[in-house]
């Protein structure tokens, strides 16, 4: 009889669910006992969200784990993935600063002077090597808006 007794729920096994839904104990067990295929699934989850749940769980496991082969590799994945994300975010901020500058119609030195930063610091923001503080981003936005309005043919 096909509908009488339900079989074991295979989807309740952590390996059947996306890594992001695994409990920390399953992450710990996977790092201690599983193989490359499972470790790769964990790495993919970390790369998808370097500060997300799985990344935090791996960090927690690594803090309390005995050093073993995969722990060093997972630690390196965390560091490199986060550095890559941060570099991309800095570059994105740099593109936004460039848009604010262009919208204002001011030159780089004039813009830097009007927001109260050294030209070299402003160049670093433009290049995406350094991200300005949030308050400075607001100041840049206001300056850009003010000069864009002054240049607008509607006035």
- pLDDT tens track of the chain, all 155 residues? 444 444 434 334 456 899 999 999 999 999 988 888 899 999 999 999 999 999 999 999 999 877 677 888 999 999 999 999 999 999 999 999 999 999 999 999 999 999 999 999 999 999 999 999 999 999 999 999 999 999 887 65
For the chain, domain boundaries = 14-66, 88-151
Domain at 88-151: CATH code: 1.10.260
**Residue 53, Cβ density class (10 Å: 0-12 exposed, 13-18 middle, ≥19 buried):** middle
Q: Cα separations (Å) of 7 from 10, 13, 15, 18?
A: 8, 13, 18, 22
Taking the whole predicted model, whether its pTM rises above 0.85 is answered as no
């Amino acid at each position: 009889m096909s509908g009488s007794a339900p079989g074991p729920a295979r989807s309740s096994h952590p390996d059947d669910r996306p890594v992001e839904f695994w409990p920390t104990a399953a992450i710990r067990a996977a790092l201690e006992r599983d193989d490359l295929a499972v470790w790769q699934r964990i790495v993919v989850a970390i790369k998808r969200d370097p500060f997300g749940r799985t990344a935090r769980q791996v960090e927690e496991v690594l803090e309390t784990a005995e050093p073993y082969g995969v722990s060093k590799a997972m630690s390196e994945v965390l560091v490199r993935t986060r550095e890559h994300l941060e570099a991309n975010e800095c570059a994105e901020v740099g593109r936004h600063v460039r848009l604010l500058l262009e919208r204002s119609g001011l030159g780089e030195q004039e813009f830097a002077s009007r927001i109260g930063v050294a030209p070299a610091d402003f160049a670093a923001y433009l290049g995406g090597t350094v991200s300005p503080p949030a308050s400075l981003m607001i100041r840049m936005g206001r300056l850009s808006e003010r000069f864009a309005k002054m240049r607008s043919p509607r006035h």
